[in-house]
Amino acid sequence: MKVKLLPAVFLFLGSYFPLSVILLMQDITEVSWEKSVCWSLHGCELPALENSSRSLTFFVLCSVSLVMFFWVLRNLPSDHEVTVKDAKTVPNDLINYVFPYVVSFMGLDLGVDGRFYGFVIFLALMFLITYRSGQILMNPLLLAMGWQLYELNVVTTKHVRTRMALSKSPVYPNDTLKCCYIQGMYILSKEQD
């Protein structure tokens, strides 16, 4: 099964949620940073932003996308069954997909049109690359939510296959698991038979 375009956009933008938070924090004006912290529910003001339309739009898009990403992941149909012959965790692969991009834009100035539109083009190209390569599910936020990437040798429909898999629960040899197969990767359900 191939991820359709709109869910793929949600999956992709959801992975940039940490970057949207960083950019939002960087967009807070110096005057707002100099104010004391407001501990009351009455009389507090939200911090002023220098480029509120750009930073808030990106933050809201990434926030909604992140929620949609986890909703899609939770509601995938488990229509296949696999028996695990052996499983090996792949601890660094998920995290490698976002760190270079976050670090690249730590100093992004949303108020400079050239840099902002260059950033938009960069994100569009990254989406195209990850979507076409079938790596759209490689979201490092999955690590924070307890998911793990595995390389599995599995038996399915009486054939032995080697596949990458995402699972929220530990995977052990001889486990029989329900899963959904998307773009060359198994998404394993928590249910075990």
What is the distance in angstroms between the CA of the first residue and the CA of the last residue of the chain?
24
Sorted by sequence, the CB contacts under 8 Å of residue 78 that are 6+ apart come out as 178, 179, 180, 189, 191
| pLDDT exceeds 50 at position 193 | no
**Residue 174 and residue 159 share a domain:** yes
61 & 155 share domain: no
One-letter identity of residue 161? R
3-state secondary structure 115-148: HHHHHHHHHHHHHHHHHHHCCCCCCCHHHHCCCE
37 and 107 housed in the same domain: yes
Structure tokens at 171: 């995977």
What is the C-alpha to C-alpha distance for residues 81 and 179, in angstroms, rounded to an integer?
Answer: 6
pLDDT tens-digit readout, 47-88? 899 999 999 999 999 999 989 888 877 777 888 888 899 999
Is 161 in the same domain as 150? yes
Residue pLDDT, tens place only, 112-152: 898 889 888 888 888 888 888 777 777 777 777 888 888 99
Residues 8 and 84 in one domain: no
In this structure, the answer to whether residues 156 and 62 fall within a common structural domain is no
46 and 109 part of one domain: yes
- pLDDT at 28 > cutoff 80: yes
One domain, residues 21 and 60: yes
Do 163 and 117 share a structural domain? no
Mean pLDDT over residues 178-186, rounded?
81
Question: Which residue segment(s) compose the domain that 193 sits in?
Answer: 76-94+140-193
Same domain? For 66 and 123 the reply is yes
- Please report, for the domain that includes residue 154, its CATH number: 2.40.50
